[in-house]
Structures are given as structure tokens and as C-alpha cells.
Amino acid sequence: MDAKKVLIVEDEEAIVEILQFNLQREGYNTVVAMDGEAGLALAKSEDPDLMLLDVMLPKMNGFEVCGNLRKDGYRMPILMLTAREGESDKVFGLEAGADDYITKPFSMRELLARVKANIRRQNMGVPTGDGPLQLGDLALFESSYTVQKNGTALDLTQKEFEMLRLLMKTPGHVYTREDLMEKVWNYDYFGDTRTVDVMVRRLREKIEDDSANPRYLMTKRGVGYYFAEKI
């Protein structure tokens, strides 16, 4: 299998060096940008398998870089490096389209585990030959990682697709936030399940006619989320 490519966008040289060293030792190819504009350009020209994106960057901050990429239809997993413990950075990042975040200072072991979990592509490129999974107006095509609504392709990130695929395959099955963290992100999450809530909100904005009154992606109050059985 070809080595996966990780784009590091970070302006602190010491952090870049330690990230490069450890990622390369794990078998990844790395590309580096040291400001937001260069990061945005490289994300588009290099087509990385994952992007590590610092928030505080010269020229353009990480939220803007992430938002710009998603707006232009780039779907690679984006793992934000947030400097502060504050909730707001995490939520801004997720709302800008990031798939995950890690707070500085991070442990390298934890970061490598997150990179691996976010880069994993189950069944990617394996055609099922069974045609799309059709539920209501939504059609999910496993082999091409795409979802259509009434025949129009939706612009989903890789993680959004993976969460929707899991839910659409098991209508009526209620998943807790912890279940979803484990199944979609592939790691145990310690208490902070905000990522799931933001991802659900983002998905609803894309798949529902009215995201405030969803008919596909439902909340089971006090438990978690499920895909509607009867649409």
C-alpha cells in the first residue's frame, strides 16, 4: 500500500520537526506549510490523506483555512491543533468543518493514534455491486463515498460520510455519543463528545430539508442519535 501523506500546517518550527520525525517514523510521507495561505495552497495541490492544522497561524488562521477547503469541496480529514483548553476553539474548528481536534500540548502517542484513526478508510474504493443504499430521498453509494439527495450529490466530508453510512445501514438503531466516537473515529473518547454533536448538526444541515425539524437523523433524548426507521 502506498504511504499515506500528511500535510502539517504549523508555524512553530520545533513542533513541525517533532511531528515530521514521528510521522515519518510511522511510515507517513509529510508535507509542511508554515502559514495559513501556504497550507491552503498545499492542501489543494498535494491532495493529502490527512491535514494537521494549527489554529494560530500567520496570514490566515486555521479556522479560515479549514472553512475555505470545505467550501471548495475538499473532504480530506482535518485534525485541528488547538492551543487552548477553551471550548470555543474546539467548536469553531468543528463548525468550520474539521473532523477532530487535539489540544496542545499533546502527547505524541495520542496524536499518532488520532492520525491513524482519522485516516482509516473502511471499504474505500471497494465496489459493493449492489447499487446505492436508498432511504427516503437519500441514496448512499459506498464505492464512491458519495451521497445524493434527490439525485444531487451532497458535499460531505469523509467523517460525515462515515457517520451517515453507519446510521443509514442500521435504521432505528440508537447509538450513544460514545458509540459513535468509537465507531466513526475509531478510538475511545474520554468524556468530550462535543465532536459528535457538531457533526450531527453539520450533517443535518446537509441532508435535511429543515435541520431544526429533522426527519432522517433523529435524536433519542438523553441517549444519542439514530436514523429514522420510517421516513
Q: Is 11 in the site for Ca ion (CB under 5 A)?
A: yes
Q: Is 142 in the site for Ca ion (CB under 5 A)?
A: no
Instruction: State the cell numbers at 72.
Output: 471548495
Which of these segments, 8-16, 20-28, 30-38, 96-104, binds Ca ion (CB under 5 A)?
A: 8-16
Nearest by Cα to 228 from 145, 143, 170, 179: 170
3-state secondary structure at position 224? strand
Q: Which is nearer to Ca ion, 85 or 210 (CB)?
A: 85
Q: Which is nearer to Ca ion, 56 or 228 (CB)?
A: 56
Q: Which is nearer to Ca ion, 35 or 197 (CB)?
A: 35
Distance from the first to the final alpha carbon of the chain: 41
Q: How far is the CB of 109 from Ca ion (least distance, A)?
A: 22
Q: Which is nearer to Ca ion, 84 or 169 (CB)?
A: 84
Q: How far is the CB of 45 from Ca ion (least distance, A)?
A: 22
Q: List the beta strands (DSSP E) in 86-228.
A: 100-103, 133-135, 138-141, 146-149, 152-153, 175-176, 217-220, 224-227
Pairing between strand 152-153 and 146-149? antiparallel
Total chain residues near Ca ion (CB under 5 A)? 3
- Per CB under 5 A, contacts with Ca ion among 43-62 are 54, 56
Contacts with Ca ion by CB under 5 A lie at: 11, 54, 56
